[in-house]
Amino acid sequence: MPRSCLKRLVGVAACACLLAPLALAGATEEGPPRFSVRAPTEGPLVLVVYGDTRFTQRTGVVNAIARRALVDRIASEKPAAILIGGDLVYDGSDPSDYQVFKRETRAWTDEQIPVFPALGNHELKGCEEDASDCLENWWGAFGDLALRPNRWYSVAIGASLLALVLDSDAALKPGSEQRAWLEREIADAGDQVKFILIVLHYPPVRDPLFPRMREEQEVARYLSRHARRLPQQVLVIGSHVHNYERYSRDGVTYVVSGGGGAKPVPAPRMFGEQSHLRTGTNFHYLRLTLRNDSLSVSMVRYDDTRADAALAWTEPDQFEIRAKH
């Protein structure tokens, strides 16, 4: 089955016979797979992106109430797809964490919402010497996608948005396998694609007080040299920092979306941070709405201290990216 074939993916509990031929064709013939999600026949295309959900039964490492509230709210949005920027679970070596994920996101499965995950450091937690068991747990949890043996891949969402899901724990320097794939995917995107969405765990641009982790800055270096000449607009969404931040660098918008439930960390909001939020705790997800030449993004925030559920939800930061052509 060719990579360009459009299919409507169906969630974590999907029938493997629908998805495996597409994934296997990419994996065995053309490198990492490309999946496809059809745009709705009416109305705008809506996506959800966020990270650091930390599905687990452990206490003290996640706000499970906030995590579940976000999951239920996302289900009510009925997005065309959900992309998760890593740290889906707390301990990647523990299969029971993935069972918590499947159990708590049953509403997503019931709505047949496809979920596309990126690898984070917690997916590899407990496998510091050998990542094999952790990767098997991750691949197994998303067996309908048939990702094995890949750690990165792409998703064509409608005709005008291409999502590149990276593994920021793997090499990203020039000459590396993942970097060569990334450059090739961007170069071959085509003029019909108006927006390129890059999803990875470690944010390439974030408050400089937070230490760098691996080679995520290589993504920003590459885009600083090439993004202005691309026919597409580029949006990069990372997680890892358990808060929300937004920056603009060399024609690219960078967002940190790590408010999926993990224990919050403060964000100083210095050095050009554009949201200027005054709240320290920001459990949230991002709603991306694609309409013709416009990609609008809303930060949907959940306040777990509000007793009134109607007042718990706000959208304190919103921005729009316009297509170049």
Domain regions of the chain by residue span: 16-322
Read off the DSSP letter of residue 75: H
Reading the block at residue 211, the tokens are 């230490």
Architecture of domain 16-322: 4-Layer Sandwich (3.60)
pLDDT at 28: 39
Q: How far is CA 305 from its chain centroid?
A: 26
Reading the block at residue 233, the tokens are 């607009």
> Is the model's pTM score more than 0.85?
yes
Q: Which residue has better confidence, 1 or 163?
A: 163
Which helix (H) or strand (E) segment holds residue 198: the answer is: strand 195-199
Share of the chain above pLDDT 90, in %: 84
* Lowest mean per-residue pLDDT among 54-58, 161-165, 174-178, 208-212: 208-212
Average pLDDT over residues 205-216: 89
Position 15 confidence tier, pLDDT thresholds 50, 70, 90: very low
| Burial class of residue 229, CB neighbours in 10 A (0-12, 13-18, 19+) | exposed
pLDDT digits (tens, 9 = 90+) for 264-321: 998 888 889 999 999 999 999 999 999 999 999 999 999 999 988 889 999 999 999 9
pLDDT digits (tens, 9 = 90+) for 147-156: 999 999 999 9
Residue 18: C-alpha distances to residues 4, 104, 243 (Å): 15, 24, 36
pLDDT digits (tens, 9 = 90+) for 90-140: 999 999 999 999 999 999 999 999 999 999 999 999 999 999 999 999 999
pLDDT digits (tens, 9 = 90+) for 27-54: 435 689 999 999 998 899 999 999 999 9
Residue 225 scores a pLDDT above 90:
yes
Q: How far apart are CA 217 and CA 100, in angstroms?
A: 32
* Lowest mean per-residue pLDDT among 146-160, 202-216, 252-266, 292-306: 202-216
Terminal Cα distance for the chain, rounded: 31
pLDDT at 309: 83
Residue 256 scores a pLDDT above 70:
yes
Residue 207 scores a pLDDT above 60:
yes
Contact status, residue 118 vs residue 240, Cβ threshold 8 Å: no
Question: How many residues would you count in the chain?
Answer: 325
Residue 23 scores a pLDDT above 60:
no
pLDDT at 29: 52
Read off the DSSP letter of residue 139: H
Q: β-strand 195-199 against 233-238: which pairing, if any?
A: parallel
